[in-house]
Amino acid sequence: MTTELFTQYLFAGITYGIIYAVVAIGFNIIYNTTGIINFAQGEFVMLGGMISISLNPLMPLPLAIGLAVMLTTLIGALIEMVFIRWLVHPSVLRMIIITIGISILIREVALHIWGEGVRSLPYFYGNEISSIDILGAHVSPQVLWVVGVCSIIVTLLSLFFKFTPLGQEMLACSANRLAATLCGINAKNMVTLSFMLSAGIGALAGCVVSPITYTQYDCGTGLAIKGFTVAVLGGLGNSMAAVAAGLLLGILEAFSIHIFPLAFQDAISISILLLILFIRPHGLFGSKEAAELKEF
């Protein structure tokens, strides 16, 4: 393999990986505060993309993206308030079915609003055919945007959870909800906040990847499956691990193409998911003890 080809695969892998990672982080935020997997996570990505595409002709691109992220965040809050908030000690199964239902609902609504067509935001820099030369490989500038924005998301999130009182309160809820409530933290508000946060992050990711992957009303499902794989791979609840796992999976997928036919790409990632579930159910980077304390 030439260096050129190697770098080309590497960047393809990073592109896939970082997209998976951002979806996985969305899963993790909600999982951390509620202990559930929100299967509508992929739909937040779709909504972010679609709303920004609709707003783009009316205003400058950054404003359209900002507004799309805000609107999706509001939708996230609304969903939590309408469907989740009033449930008293819901079982894991019930929550899963509710979130799957929400994802179908959002998809159908999106189909009615935006139709079945494929849309995309314009490239932030350059156009469809521009590329930057990196070590002999050609990389679309948008890939650098995706990598950059996603890195900023991850960094800001870690800072948020470490240094702000609000982030600490959310973490407290995930560590022990009862104790957190006894300390005066409004756990219900923290859950709403976690939905808003993951909806907003998903939406932002949906905007930056839109020029590369396109946005269609049902594009969330595939992303959710890959994001879930990555979240499990890294260890549910751990955002940094999700980034590592996402990059690992993306790069593995990209390099697998060199040896296996492309058709096996998804089979490979699903095999990895199954292997992890059998051998290390707590994920590559998760701790076994912590996993045992959780109900799911």
Q: Which residues bind other proteins (CB under 8 A)?
A: 2, 5, 8-9, 11-13, 15-16, 19, 111, 115-120, 122-123, 127-131, 137-140, 209, 212-214, 216, 218-219, 221-223, 253-255, 257-258, 261-263, 265-266
Q: Token pair 């998804």 is at which residue?
A: 266
Report the residue number, 19 or 84, with the smaller CB distance to other proteins.
Answer: 19
The distance of closest approach from Cβ of residue 215 to other proteins in the complex, given in angstroms and rounded to an integer, is 9
- Alpha helices (runs of H) in the chain, residue ranges in sequence order: 3-34, 41-55, 61-79, 92-114, 141-163, 165-175, 177-182, 187-213, 220-234, 239-259, 265-279, 288-293
Report the residue number, 8 or 192, with the smaller CB distance to other proteins.
Answer: 8
The DSSP 8-state label assigned to residue 126 in this structure reads S
C-alpha–C-alpha distance, residues 64 and 256, integer Å: 37
Report the residue number, 125 or 296, with the smaller CB distance to other proteins.
Answer: 125
Element (H, E) at 137: strand 137-139
C-alpha–C-alpha distance, residues 48 and 51, integer Å: 5
Question: CB burial class (10 A; 0-12, 13-18, 19+) of residue 180?
Answer: buried
The distance of closest approach from Cβ of residue 26 to other proteins in the complex, given in angstroms and rounded to an integer, is 17
C-alpha–C-alpha distance, residues 248 and 253, integer Å: 9
**What are the beta bridge partners of residue 241?**
none
The distance of closest approach from Cβ of residue 148 to other proteins in the complex, given in angstroms and rounded to an integer, is 17
Report the residue number, 116 or 292, with the smaller CB distance to other proteins.
Answer: 116
The distance of closest approach from Cβ of residue 15 to other proteins in the complex, given in angstroms and rounded to an integer, is 6
CA angle 35–37–40, rounded 5-degree value: 140
Report the residue number, 260 or 296, with the smaller CB distance to other proteins.
Answer: 260
Report the residue number, 25 or 137, with the smaller CB distance to other proteins.
Answer: 137
Q: How many CB atoms lie within 10 A of CB 119?
A: 17
The distance of closest approach from Cβ of residue 71 to other proteins in the complex, given in angstroms and rounded to an integer, is 23
The distance of closest approach from Cβ of residue 62 to other proteins in the complex, given in angstroms and rounded to an integer, is 20
The distance of closest approach from Cβ of residue 224 to other proteins in the complex, given in angstroms and rounded to an integer, is 11
C-alpha–C-alpha distance, residues 196 and 73, integer Å: 5
Report the residue number, 72 or 142, with the smaller CB distance to other proteins.
Answer: 142
